[in-house]
Amino acid sequence: MRESIVEMHCGEEVLLVGRHGALSHLPPAIRDAERGSVSLGRALASPENMRKLRRYWRLAFPSVAMSRCSDRDLARMAEAAVRNRRLHVALLRRTWPHQPPPRQPGRKAVSASAASSGGSANPLVGSGRHTLGKTGSVMLGDATDLTPTEMAAMVREDTERPGADPVTSWSMERRFLAVIRMAIEEVPSEMRNTMAALLSPDSIALMIGLMAVAAAANLTPFGWAADAVILGIAYAAGGMIAVHAAGNLFRCFVAVQNAQTKTDLEHAAELLAGAIVEIGVIGVMAILHRFSKGSEGDAGDMKAVEKPTRRSVEEQKVRRPKSSSSESQQVHKPPAKEQAPKKTEAASAEAGSGKFGYTVDKPPPDLEKNPGGVYGYTPKKGSQFDTEKGWPDWTDPEAVAKARATRLEYHQGLANEKAWVEAQRAAGKGEESIARELVDMRNKSRLSHYKPEELEKVYAKNLKDYGNPLGPSYESQLAKYGTPQAVIEAATRSNRTMDVLTGVAKVK
Amino acid sequence: MNDVKEVLVADLDGGASVAVLDVESGIAHAGAVGGETPNGNMRVVLGNTVALYAEGEHLFLQIGGRRWDLADPATVISYGHDLNRKTTTLQVGDLRLEYPAWWRDDPAYDPFIPELDEDEDYLAYVYSVAQQPALQENLIKVWSAAATA
């Protein structure tokens, strides 16, 4: 995520620049694409923004020799890329006006009706129609007109005035509003501009929806990352820093859920501010949306996050096998003859079960029934995954467990992609648009597996193979599969033979 | 059998421009007018033009000057990597092509995700299509709708 979007600060405005589709996960309410394009030139007058763009350009367009590009050249190229729609620009709307509304004497907190001061450019600042909460919570339209200090004062008023209702009786919406307002005071001033995004009803609904996920996650002081599912999604959203930020975010959710006092809410606000300082509001929004997409999966991917069992922890510890010949040899072990049958029997019984398990009517043609196979089947001689070609011994439980761990991880990714596709369809997005974005997402996911120093080579190969440094283009996929729907199907398909061999799929 | 002499195919080498494939010789050349809908696609592998295209209600795989009807039960295709030798083999009937695996210098390659083959190796895509009758039907429908050259 950090590689795909550049965040530029220009006065009190925040400009986002990214490739086609990179900004699509941001809620429309916080985008202002039209003004964003106009503001790019102004933003690039800042040396810091120019440095950010230069770094971004190296990654996004590696074929361009940056050392020969002056700042002026780069600015021209960026503007041309915007015109050609290779780059998209969005401008985050300000949270409060340049000139805060004059303080009213004696005003401590603003009631719903008292502060419809108008003049805000923020579309989230409205007529009070975003009323949240059932226990006297204030309206967003008023809150976002206030300075951070005023917002914090509002929270104090809410919790400290005589007769104030206890935090335990507050709705979750009200708690989150209070936490976000307190967090605004904790973050650097230049980051406060974008905090309105978190105050939107949609964002708060997202956070509430993710509270159950946070509660189920394995949030121990050092074991947070033990939850491979959450780790994977957070890492995909922005690397290790996003993992730390997601940790803070989820701890914040747990703290909100369990809050009994104002101090508890302050603690939650500190955690939220910590996440924002680490990856910015945009990063937090991206993580919320990613996890939300995950939670919409058919198997309830995130909602049903299980505490890792010993087996799953062991599987997570298994390093992904590499392609080298020596490592291929490592997985090619002689079968453990005495133990294998017992393990095989148990493994066979659980084939096709679990979160991603499915059943196939008949065995794939390249497999044959074999009671010695860990999951009851082994490849036919000479077929695709034949052990003689360096593939694992499919009768060796340890070797197959390694393969299975990779497959489960892969299926988690597929489930996320399928859930995302369904969400896009439900939102009325067209098949072509979904397919284009899916191709782009898969390319990004693929590239995330390489070290930075390896990327140049990958970009060059992709450019040669596909005419696109990031990987297959939508056009080439369409030429291969015929229709946008078929492109989507191809991107979300799994290999049945490999799934039967690793027990993800069971033969009827 | 070769009533149709030429077909339009999307040339996937470096993009998806359209080329004209001479079915008898197996030689493809540029020259198609932009905007025309292709009947299939192609890549050059080991110096041979490899193409997949629809002709009437049939889907054909062409390698050089030879071609196979994917619906013909006699057309047996296999594909696989040798992890030790870092090579890939595609066999169609008696024709066997062995070539360096696409992943031989790829540090992120994971053999347990064979789905990536389809993106990275055109012959894996060909094999995958040959394994999926539903996809074949879809491709015949889309590609046959396009006019032949």
Model confidence band, residue B36 (pLDDT cutoffs 50, 70, 90): confident
* Predicted confidence (pLDDT) at residue B23 exceeds the cutoff of 80: yes
Give burial (CB, 10 Å; 0-12/13-18/19+) of B59: buried
d(CA A458, CA A62): 10
CB pairs under 8 A between A and B: 118
Disruptive mutation site among A331, A356, A384, A411 for chain B (greatest number of B CBs within 10 Å): A384
Report the residue of chain B nearest A320, measured CA to CA: B110
Report the residue of chain A nearest B138, measured CA to CA: A482
Report the residue of chain B nearest A494, measured CA to CA: B115
State ipTM: 0.94
Query: A330: Cβ–Cβ under 8 A, 6 or more apart, which residues?
Result: none
Disruptive mutation site among A315, A322, A323 for chain B (greatest number of B CBs within 10 Å): A323
- Report pLDDT for A138: 28
Cα distances (Å, whole numbers) of residue B132 to A491, B125, B137: 15, 11, 9
| Average pLDDT along chain A, 508 residues, taken 10 residues at a time | 61 71 54 63 84 82 73 83 76 40 31 27 24 28 52 68 80 86 78 69 76 60 42 58 74 87 90 79 72 48 30 32 33 33 49 76 92 92 90 89 84 85 90 93 82 84 84 92 96 94 91
Disruptive mutation site among B112, B121, B143 for chain A (greatest number of A CBs within 10 Å): B112
The partner residues of A505 in beta bridges, in order of sequence, read A358
Average pLDDT value over all residues in chain B? 89
Give burial (CB, 10 Å; 0-12/13-18/19+) of A151: buried
Beta-strand runs (E) in A246-331: none
Alpha helices in A29-136, H assignment, sequence order: 33-43, 47-60, 71-83
**C-alpha R_g of chain B:** 15
d(CA A190, CA A173): 26
**Residues of A with CB below 8 A from B114's CB?**
384-385, 495, 498
Q: B6-11 and B40-45: which strand pairing?
A: parallel
Contact (CB, 8 A) for A187 and A278: no
**C-alpha R_g of chain A:** 26
**Residues of B with CB below 8 A from A464's CB?**
14
Cβ within 8 Å, pair B141-A450: no
- Report pLDDT for B78: 94
Cα distances (Å, whole numbers) of residue A235 to A17, A55, A292, B33, B146: 21, 21, 15, 45, 44
Residue with tokens 């967003």: A140
Cβ within 8 Å, pair B112-A498: yes
Tell me the per-residue pLDDT of B81-135, one tens digit each, with 9 for 90 and over.
999 999 999 999 999 999 999 999 898 899 999 999 999 999 999 999 999 999 9
Cβ within 8 Å, pair A407-B12: no
Cβ within 8 Å, pair A473-B114: no
Query: B118: Cβ–Cβ under 8 A, 6 or more apart, which residues?
Result: A490, B124, B125, B128
**Residues of A with CB below 8 A from B107's CB?**
322-323, 450-451, 454
Cβ within 8 Å, pair B114-A407: no
Give the nearest partner residue to B84 out of A322, A389, A406, using CB atoms. A389
**Residues of B with CB below 8 A from A328's CB?**
83-84, 111
**Residues of B with CB below 8 A from A390's CB?**
81-85
Query: A131: Cβ–Cβ under 8 A, 6 or more apart, which residues?
Result: A112, A137, A139, A140
- Name the maximum alpha-carbon separation found in chain A: 87
Cβ within 8 Å, pair A325-B115: no
The alpha-carbon gap from A320 to the nearest alpha carbon of chain B, in Å, equals 7
Number of other CB atoms surrounding residue A452 within 10 Å = 8
- Report pLDDT for A400: 87
List the one residue out of A494, A496, A498, A493 whose CA is nearest residue A374: A498
Cβ within 8 Å, pair A323-B104: yes
The alpha-carbon gap from B25 to the nearest alpha carbon of chain A, in Å, equals 23
- Report pLDDT for A98: 29
Q: What is the DSSP secondary structure assignment for residue A126, as one 8-state letter?
A: -
Cβ within 8 Å, pair A471-B119: yes
